[in-house]
Chains A and B, each alone.
Chain A
């Protein structure tokens, strides 16, 4: 039983880091632009499909390098054409416009690739399972947990240790003031949106070999991402990581006790946190504010 609990706990950590990696871009955009970006899910789906197309042709690492750039380009276009129109408006406008766009794009993916699900193999360097007695864990899952951790660390360094990050952080507090101080607010918002899109694409790429690729994958990942951002606090990188880990570990361990109700756990956690701390664990302000 002890081995099983340890396996589930470590699995929860791995899943939590992947969830956090998916949610981090969502959190950044929400923090800086005040847009509840429901197109984040479809960026995630684009990332997975680009990876799937490229993987067989140019290999794993080249796909990992190129696919997020393609998603970032799409993110740039969307920001210029759609998102820019809703800055400063009621968050509901942003939510509706991005949700509508996502639904249209999901349908487009289905039209192009059909309704079937696809699946890709883990790269050869990460194939196999680490087995120690009753403990078993796939090497690829260890790899993606490390990859997600590096990704999160890179975002943290960008925000905490660079001039650009300082402006981003200031923008999360008061974007209008950042603009008034001579910073190009439009460029800042565009940059953050593009980075958010690339992060969504990259997280989909590392998750693709463990989860299937299908047109609804963006919609399915959206709600856990949103919950993690709400739990962790608006725009908070440590909050997003803690939120992701909480969801990952709690759902993994709940499999042992209440496997049928695992999906409810993140919602209960969020309700509990928001009840006592409406700004989330590390948030400075809530969405309404």
Chain B
């Protein structure tokens, strides 16, 4: 059958900051969950400079591998028109974080589940980026599963390294830098 031609992408531009980020956007984990992990990193441009106007979106399965998600990432307050924050119980699987002036972002979330090597899907938006980019955060503790992952296995070791977070500095925290261009450029994905 004839497919409809798609609507073209455009850059998110410089002024999304009062529209897209929402309070608690990086706090995917319901408070008090002992298995909460911190995933954080910097976004760099081709000159190695931090990108202070990038928007990072995360989408992942729950620890049980469920990809059903849940509504309520950006609950609205019908009284004030502001945001209520997440309900503190549901795991929506979705996060959205604007990089700070240092180009840094942080998410507190639950570890994704299988089957296969667990990963968090990342969608990168930025001023200057005409079409968003997809990448993935894999975790260093899953060596055997990572080795069997079709995507990771298809990459040469230097490129593969860009998709695997490094543990630290605190227990349960993982650093994942995104390099848009140049040395150690992050592997970006297309889905066909």
Report whether chain A binds chain B: no
Instruction: Tell me the A residues contacting B by CB distance below 8 Å.
Output: none
